[in-house]
């Protein structure tokens, strides 16, 4: 694994990220950056979550584990404001995200969160550098600035030579690292990753997790990671286990 | 395979009710001894040691009879020791946790919380995996590969823990037969 060390100063280029809500201390160290309280959620007749309480501290890397169908992805989606709970509440800093409408949650996700999925997340007709610049363009950056920043991130992740390639010309591990660059390019407060190594071989999975955790730790970004893979979870600071819609084991 | 702690397993069997040495040996062999049954001599030596430590006691007047006439009962101290053993996570090692299997069976026989001890063990395993993963970062390739060897073995244990957690009800019904 030959990667250059991450220039810390650059990663910390926006330490005073705009706070959400009225309380200016919303995301200071003393309180969780994300929380859910007594959250219940069903899909038709299927109950996915039945009373979950969870807090995530700023800068923490948390793994959500559990068997298929246990509700772990639903929990991630509620923490990320993609879904809202049927009852209970979801919080980002002092913002009660479960009280926000769809448009406000979409805006929050765009400005504060980054997302990484298992596969198929890069737009197939865009090159790596265009995929990475996309979130900046959506956020209103000029094309020139967006492409420059995207190139910087690809370089930092050892992908400079692949910048012009289409996703179909990248290996699974390379594509996943481009996805990490795309998630980080807007300097999000929180990264949500749903089975980020699920489609990768062992060595690529290691490189992806090492990249993700090194960059997040260097920039103080919080990471919430859903995985059923223990070796992937071992990169986190802590794990919680969802079983039958409840948290069962929580370590240290 | 890690050696099973037969002393605590026998104590656990006595936790389900008083019994003769002869019956204890057969219960032990039924649950744990398919490949390595306990010798009678070992059973009586272990029981004598448990009596000496105050964890079990001899019942009634049969104390004067031969070894297979002696009936044993668990003491309060024995129950405390048993709970302590059940819910103390095993040190994760790169071999099958047969002690963990014994604990799971004993907990089910006692009607105790087998799911909880598996949760505690899972947490212990993941903690060890985190330590090994951290040790890999920035280490030379030999160290990385040694850590990986341990990680894969611990992961195999963990998969057994997951599978067993998912089948506890079924296992409980089987051991109760």
Ramachandran angles phi, psi of A61, nearest 5°: -110, 110
Higher pLDDT, A133 or B32: A133
Interface contacts A/B by beta carbons within 8 Å? 43
Q: What is the pLDDT of residues B96-154, one digit of tens each?
A: 568 889 999 999 999 999 999 999 999 999 999 999 999 998 899 988 998 999 999 99
| The length of chain B, given as a count of residues | 177
Question: Up-side HSE of residue A210: CA atoms within 13 Å toward CB?
Answer: 22
Which residues on chain B are in Cβ contact (under 8 Å) with A249?
119-120, 122-123
DSSP alpha helix (H) spans, A166-201: 172-184
* Rg, C-alpha atoms of chain A: 18
Strand partners, A115: A192
Which residues on chain A are in Cβ contact (under 8 Å) with B133?
231, 234-235
pLDDT confidence of residue A15? 35
**What stretches of chain A adopt beta strand conformation (E)?**
34-43, 46-56, 61-65, 87-92, 95-96, 113-116, 190-194, 222-226, 238-243, 246-250
Which residues on chain B are in Cβ contact (under 8 Å) with A248?
115, 119
Tell me the C-alpha distance between A93 and A35, whole Å.
8
Check if B162 contacts A (Cβ < 8 Å): yes
Question: Up-side HSE of residue B23: CA atoms within 13 Å toward CB?
Answer: 12
Strands A87-92 and A34-43: antiparallel
The rounded average pLDDT for each run of 10 residues, N- to C-terminus, in chain A (252 residues) is 41 38 42 95 92 96 90 94 96 95 93 85 93 92 94 90 95 91 92 90 88 91 94 94 81 38
The dihedral sign for the CA sequence A23, A25, A28, A31: negative
Strands B19-20 and B71-74: antiparallel
Closest Cβ–Cβ partner in A67, A210, A234 for B130: A234
pLDDT confidence of residue B90? 84
Check if B129 contacts A (Cβ < 8 Å): yes
Q: Which of A229, A234, A246, A250 to mutate to test the interface with B (most CBs of B within 10 A)?
A: A234
Closest Cβ–Cβ partner in B122, B130, B137 for A241: B122
Residue B4: pLDDT over 90: no
Chain A residue set in contact with B, beta carbons under 8 Å: 67, 210, 230-231, 233-237, 239, 241, 243, 248-252
Which residues on chain B are in Cβ contact (under 8 Å) with A233?
126, 129
């Amino acid at each position: 694994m030959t990667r250059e060390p991450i220039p810390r100063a650059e990663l910390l280029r926006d330490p005073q990220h705009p706070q959400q809500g009225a309380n200016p201390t919303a995301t200071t160290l003393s309180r969780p950056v994300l929380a859910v309280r007594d959250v219940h959620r069903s899909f038709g007749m299927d109950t996915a979550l039945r009373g979950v309480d969870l807090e995530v501290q700023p800068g923490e890397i948390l793994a959500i584990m559990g068997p298929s169908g246990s509700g772990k992805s639903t929990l991630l989606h509620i923490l990320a404001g993609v879904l809202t709970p049927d009852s209970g509440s979801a919080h980002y800093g002092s913002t009660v995200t479960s009280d926000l409408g769809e448009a406000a949650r979409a805006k929050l996700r765009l400005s504060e969160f980054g997302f990484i999925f298992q596969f198929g997340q890069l737009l197939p007709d865009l090159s790596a550098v265009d995929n990475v610049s996309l979130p900046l363009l959506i956020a209103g950056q000029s094309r020139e600035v967006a492409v420059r920043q995207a190139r910087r991130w690809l370089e930092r992740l050892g992908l400079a030579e692949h910048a012009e390639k289409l996703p179909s010309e990248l290996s699974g591990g390379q594509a996943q690292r481009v996805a990490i660059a795309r998630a980080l390019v807007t300097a999000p407060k929180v990264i949500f990753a749903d089975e980020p190594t699920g489609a990768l071989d062992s060595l690529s999975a290691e490189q992806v997790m090492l990249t993700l955790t090194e960059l997040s730790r260097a920039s103080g970004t919080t990471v919430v990671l859903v995985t059923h893979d223990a070796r992937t979870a071992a990169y986190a600071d802590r794990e919680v286990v969802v079983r039958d819609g409840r948290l069962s084991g929580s370590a240290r | 395979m890690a050696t099973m702690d037969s002393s605590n397993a026998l104590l656990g069997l006595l936790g389900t009710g008083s019994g003769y040495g002869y019956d204890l040996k057969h219960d032990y062999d039924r649950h744990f001894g398919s490949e390595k049954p306990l010798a009678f001599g070992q059973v009586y030596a272990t029981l004598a040691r448990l009596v000496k430590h105050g964890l079990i006691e001899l019942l009634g007047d049969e104390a004067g009879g031969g070894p297979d006439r002696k009936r044993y009962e668990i003491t309060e101290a024995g129950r405390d020791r048993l709970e302590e053993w059940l819910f103390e996570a095993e040190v994760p090692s790169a071999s099958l946790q047969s002690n963990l299997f014994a604990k799971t069976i004993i907990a089910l026989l006692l009607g105790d919380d087998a799911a909880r001890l598996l949760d505690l063990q899972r947490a212990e395993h993941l903690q060890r995996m985190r330590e090994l993963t951290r040790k890999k970062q920035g280490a030379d390739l030999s160290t990385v590969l040694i850590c990986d060897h341990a990680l894969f073995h611990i992961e195999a244990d963990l998969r057994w823990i997951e599978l067993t957690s998912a089948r506890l009800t079924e296992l409980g019904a089987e051991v109760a037969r």
